[in-house]
Structure 1
Amino acid sequence: MQTNLITINSVEKTAIFSRIRLLQKEIINVRVSDIQQGHNAALELFTLSEKIGYQLGIAEAKIMFAAYQYFRTSNIEQALLYLEEAFHILDNEKEQSDSLPWAYSIKGNIAWRMGDFDEGFTNMQKSLEIAKKINEPNSLAWGTYLVGGFYVEMKDYDKARDCHIDALRQFEIINDVEGYSSSLAGLGNIHLALNEYESAITCYEEALSIVNQHDMKTIKARIYNDLGV
């Protein structure tokens, strides 16, 4: 009888792990484009990971919780708390998390927003460095794009342009429409800063065509804001 119980528990644990793997992939795919969906997946990931004591899953869920608190509710204090808890878990885990670059990216965004540019840039570079090391395509593309944004703020337009062009290539490979259009808009901003108006308009028009086709209102509003419309 005891043997049957162990077998049933083993089967259940295998099923839970299979579901966890799917949730981890889902979060990576939607964490930027649909934060609400990512948060919902993280809630389930957290519950299942707690059930079997899977610390990596708990940490990755907390990273998504941090993203939700920061990007959706602007609760910086709670976002930083979730990140601190996630980093504490990951520091003691041997298994590498594909969400670690995302965690440093969020931390960098928060530092930038709070006026600590150097801290923000340091964290964003660390995010990109880890993404390259683990070769996680989604984090690599977004990390390249976001580092490019910091170079724009530093008025180092050559490095900014290189980052955005590289990000465009990567977003195209992983078929990330939101990232691709964001990079195009970013390139438009760089051309505009360099008084390269025709090139800027070309980038903006292509980006607007994509966002209109996919009904991406946030990016559309950002482009119009950059154009002063």
Structure 2
Amino acid sequence: MAWGLGNRLVFFALLWSMLATYAPAFSQNSDADSLKTELLNSPPDTNRIKLLTTLAFHYRVIDRQAALNYRSQAWALSEKLNFNKGKGWCYYLEGVDLTYQNKFSHAINAEAKAINVGKQIGDYDLVSRGYNVIGINYLRLEDDSIAMSAFATALRYINKSKDQTIKPALLLNIGKLYSKLKKYPEALAYFDQSRKIYSRWNDFSGLSLNYIEIGNIYLALKQYDNAIKIGHTSLHAARQAGYIRTKINALILLGSSYLATNNLIKARSHFEEAADSVTLTNLHDEKFRIFNGFAVLAEKEGNYKEGFLYKRRATILSDSLFNANRSKLILEYQDKFKTEAKDTENKLLREQQKVVQSRFRQRNLVLYLAFSILAGFAVFSSILLWGNRHIKRTEGPN
């Protein structure tokens, strides 16, 4: 079934926003420079591993090579100190990195290792984070049921943990999935729980993400006044957080809401600010929505030529994103098929070995029984022969 522009828009936006929740989930307001200064004077102990993993997460997007370097150091030191917790967090970071590379099954495998370590050492925070990332990857594989199961399991473990840092991001992810399924009351309930925690922490980045999701629901429900109100709240929070991507999405939400109410002047103003902000970025999903917004705006203004040009740009970009994503999914399923095929082959080999071993044991048993019978017959014959000779000696010659 072919996707329309609107469906693609929702899918790409949802995937971005779920990945965006990693940041507040791991280390809030961490000062990378101070962490690096602390690292210089840090002895090779478990605290140094914590510094290295925190830095690895901080640089996961802005400098992937630096992130890999910090993670490698953390792994090497964890190996040296036999520090399982450090190894578990390295597995988690590997899964996050693989998720950003769209290597879904590999990411899931890495997080499964992190979860296994977390369960062994009783680190429920690590276990919860692992399930959260697994949920995101299954969502990207378009398996909503397994994604929901993973998120629910993550929530169950985080409720056992003393560290609640990931909880608002996890609640946000569950809300997004309900929103994707058009179960808006359930989605709003989870968003409200998430919002309260972010508000208590003064986490403007998390609040902005939360408000955008709520605004998108109001937009879908055609409650445009509420969408505009929450859009301005999100934009204010994004500017306070200095989070450019959330700011752009808040502007798109406002542009779309004003467009729906036929306030074309304000719609154009917000789309133009979003377009200016997105120009020097590689935020292709946001560019697509801006192009689509301008296309609808131009048509409402009666400028059909401009509308056609923007619609064409949106369609070309959408097809490019969709085909790239579809290619990644095909490669992922091929990789998964090869893995499953190898597992099946190994299973058949193990079953064949069991059959051979069973036959070998049966043959040995038959040989043992035959040998026992022959040995018994030989002993019996020897006894008879000895008995006959003894009788003859006793009787003597006649």
Q: What's the TM-score, normalizing by structure 1?
A: 0.80
Q: Does structure 1 residue 164 correspond to structure 2 residue 191? A: yes
How many residue pairs align between the two structures? Answer: 214
Kindly provide the CA deviation profile for residues 46-84 of structure 1, in whole angstroms up to 9, marking residues without a partner as x.
22211101112101111011101212x222243223223
User: Partner of 1:56 in structure 2?
Assistant: 85
The CA deviation at 1:17 is 2.0
Q: Which stretch of structure 1 is more off in the superposition, 135-144 or 210-219? A: 210-219
Which one has a bigger Cα radius of gyration?
2
Question: Which residue of the partner structure matches residue 71 of structure 2?
Answer: 42
* Cα distance in 1 for residues equivalent to 2:45 and 2:79: 11
Letter of the structure 1 residue corresponding to residue 188 of structure 2: R
- Aligned partners of 2:209, 2:60: CA distance in 1, in Å? 12
Shift of 1:39: 5.6
CA distance in 2, matches of 1:151, 1:86: 27
Higher alpha-carbon deviation: 199-208 or 128-137: 128-137
> Is the 1:191–1:199 contact (alpha carbons within 8 Å) kept by the matching residues of 2?
yes
Q: What is the RMSD of the two structures over their aligned residues, measured on CA atoms?
A: 2.9
1:27 and 1:190 mapped to 2: Cα distance?
Answer: 35
CA deviation digits over 1:83-122, x for unaligned, max 9? 233233334x133242221111110011011111100011
Residue from 80, 85, 88 that aligns with 2:116: 88
Structure 1, gaps ≥5 residues long: 1-13
> Partner residue of 1:124?
151
> 2:124–2:158: 8 Å Cα contact kept in structure 1?
no
Q: Which residue of 1 aligns with 2:48?
A: 19
Q: Hey, what does 1:143 align to over in structure 2?
A: 170
> 2:124–2:157: 8 Å Cα contact kept in structure 1?
no
1:145–1:167 contact (8 Å) kept in structure 2: yes
- Aligned-residue identity in percent: 19
1:111 alignment partner AA = Y
Q: Which runs of 5+ in 2 are unaligned?
A: 1-42, 257-288, 291-398
Give 3-state SS (helix, strand or coil) of 2:222's partner: coil
- TM-score normalised per structure 2: 0.48
CA contact (8 A) 1:111 1:119 kept: yes
- Counterparts of 1:101 and 1:87, CA distance in 2: 8
Structure 1 position 179, deviation (Å): 1.2
Deviations 1:164-217 (A, max 9, x none): 111111112233322111001011012112221111111111212222343322
* Structure-2 change in CA distance of 1:168 and 1:50 (3 Å): same
Aligned amino acid, residue 145 of structure 1: L
